[in-house]
Every structure is written in structure tokens, then in C-alpha cells.
Chains A and B, each alone.
Chain A
Amino acid sequence: MFQFTEEQIKRYARHIILPEVGGKGQEKLLKSKVLVIGAGGLGSPSIYYLAAAGVGTIGIVDFDVVDFSNLQRQILHNTERVGIPKVESARMTVEKLNPDVKVITYNTMINKSNIMDVIKDYDVVLDGTDNFPTRFLINDACYFMGKPLVSAAMLRFEGQISVFDFRDKEHSPCYRCLFPEPPPPGLVPSCQEAGILGSIGGIMGCIQATEAIKLLLGIGEPLVGKLLVMDALSMDFRKVKLRKDPGCPLCGNNPTIRELVEYEQVCDVHF
């Protein structure tokens, strides 16, 4: 039996009392390792809740520094920290919240040559990046490594999220089953071109954290084979069923992608 300290029993009491979590589940969380790529609008709430939940190790990838324009939605950071690396700001916030969490920071741009090494030690990966080339790279790397991926994205008042559980490659669809390749540059607003209501990141990031915790605990039904599409203006949540595509270039019957491919970044990237 895991020996919780008195402080831990108090800290996690509302988890431990849940039959789906319990002492065993809380122990699992404390022994879990989650990687969050992007400490921005999605990464802020997901990292915050994962830390509060007592996920024992949280890896955080981001190469950017905190900017005033981030603070409308990126709640891990604050005014005093403008100019410092986001991963450092994230670490400070997490350490103040929960000393049980070990934070591992990667102050670097994730790319074809470092991604496999970064994700290899983690149980679950969260994608909170802000550009298509990185999203495809993360999907492909998680597929090759058999890591479950919780992928969320947002624009204006809308959010999309799905779980690709590559522990079960035979059955889980992948991001490319949905979107086989990145849209041509210029076709879809990217990076800073489009606005985003700050709280949309809160909604989608919290769903990401919830899905990650479900995967770690093995409870409920994660969003595998489903794309959840949220429209905040009408506050409609739609779950669209997604099948594994036999013609998918990555996970289909005759895959053409057998190693990591890197698509060109079309503009500066800021999570």
C-alpha cells in the first residue's frame, strides 16, 4: 500500500473519495508521467489541472518567452514574468501549487530530430501547439512510439479535441485519418492571424487534462474514434464518429509514411 503523507491525504481527499479514483488511482497519478507540448492557451489549463491532480511528473515543451499578448488566455503566466521562458514560468506556477509534481522543462522547438527522445519516457502526450506542421509531427511520433495522444486545437470561439490511443494501433484512428496532410499554407488562418476568446483555451485544455487522467486511470470512455467539436457561440458540443481510414497514409493498410516527416513552418511559431 502506498504511503500517503497526511498532507497528501488532505490534498487529494476529493479524488480519493471518488470510487473511480480512490487511493489506488491517486497513487497511479502520482507515479504517472505526462508530456504537454506547448505551454500556451491549451497547455496552461491542462498543466495546471494535471499538477493539481498530482500527476507526478509533467514534462513541458515550449521554446517561447512570455509576452503581454499571451496573458489574455495563458493563465500559467503573469505580468511579472513577461520576457522569461514560458517553461520556467510554468515550472514556477506548478511548484507553488503542488510540491508533489516533478516538472521537466524542454526550452526548445520540438522537431524531427528531438521528438522521439522527448516523448519516449511519458505515459500520455498532450498536443497544445499552434501550427499544423508540429501537430502532424506529434501525431506521427506518438504513432511510431505507441503513445496515447490527446490532441486539441482552437480558433475564435471553436474548439476540437480527439484522443488517438496508439497503445492500440489496430483500432485507434489517427490525426491523419481525419486530415491526411496539412492544409496548404494560407488556406487556414495560422498563428497570430486569427483571434481566440481566452476562455476557449480553458474549456478545451480542461477537457484535455480530463482525458489524460481518464487514460492514466483507465476509467470511462476516452474520446477515441470521436472528434468533439465545440462551438461556444451556440454552446453546442458535437461528437462526430471517426473511423480508422484504411487509406490513411500513416496508419492505413498501405502506409506511405514510414518515418517522421517535417513540414515547413509557414510563419513564426508562438504557442
Chain B
Amino acid sequence: MKVLYFAVIREKLKKNEEELDFKGTVKELKELLKTKYPEVSELLEKVKFAVNEEYVEENYQLKGDEKVAIIPPVSGG
């Protein structure tokens, strides 16, 4: 699957997107990313994940061919 990063997560990880070989729930993906990227773990906890351009709940089952977008809030005006 393709994981897309935005705003401060993009900035901290220094990447816009990556390919991941993953099947499981959104919650499990979140745990995996928290372990892989401890520098954004607190932020990942606060952000809802969007799958194929739609926000989903944590128990959403990912098959592995989705596009997952992780979009933290921004506050600039």
C-alpha cells in the first residue's frame, strides 16, 4: 500500500510517501508506524487516517492495495 504523509509528519520524516507491505486494521498500521517512527508517535495517536480519500475508523480492515493519507492539522493563517 501507499502511505502519504502531510504537514508536520512529512516534515519530521522527511518524506512525502512510502510503499508498505501491510495487511491488517488501521489501528495495527498506526501501531506499526508508531514503532517505526517514534519521533511522530504522539502525533500519530491524535490523527485520523484516511483510506482511499475517505476518513475511516480504527477497526477498518486494510487489504494492502490502498492509499492511506495521514493528515495532521495545521494552524497557520
Contacts and interface: CB of A to CB of B under 8 A. Distances in A.
Interface of A: 38, 40-43, 127-132, 135, 152-156, 158-160, 178-181, 183-184, 187-190, 194, 196, 201, 227, 229, 231, 234, 238-243, 271
B43 to A, nearest CB: 5
Interface of B: 6-8, 11, 16, 42-43, 46-48, 50, 53-55, 69, 71-77
Instruction: Name, among B6, B8, B74, B76, the residue most crowded by chain A CB atoms within 10 Å (CB to CB).
Output: B76
B75 A153 contact: yes
B43 A43 contact: no
A188 B55 contact: no
A118 B43 CA distance: 33
B8 A271 contact: no
A42 B77 CA distance: 5
A41 B76 contact: yes
A184 B71 contact: no
Given A183-B72, A238-B69, A241-B54, A153 B8 contact: no
A129 B43 CA distance: 22
A135 B11 CA distance: 22
Nearest to A135: B75
A175 to B, nearest CB: 9
Contact of B53 (A43, A155, A240): A240
Contact of A160 (B47, B55, B74): B74
A227 B71 contact: yes
A190 B75 contact: yes
A183 B43 contact: yes
Contacts of A231: 6, 16
Contact of B50 (A127, A190, A240): A240
B54 A194 contact: no
B55 A155 contact: no
A155 B8 contact: yes
Contact of A194 (B6, B53, B76): B76
Contacts of B53: 238-241
A210 to B, nearest CB: 17
Contact of B77 (A38, A180, A239, A240): A38
A188 B75 contact: yes
Instruction: Name, among A156, A183, A241, the residue most crowded by chain B CB atoms within 10 Å (CB to CB).
Output: A183
B73 A178 contact: yes
A223 B57 CA distance: 21
| A-B interface, 3 closest residue pairs, ranked by CB to CB distance from nearest | A130-B77, A155-B74, A241-B54
Contacts of B73: 132, 153, 160, 178-179, 183, 188
A179 B46 contact: yes
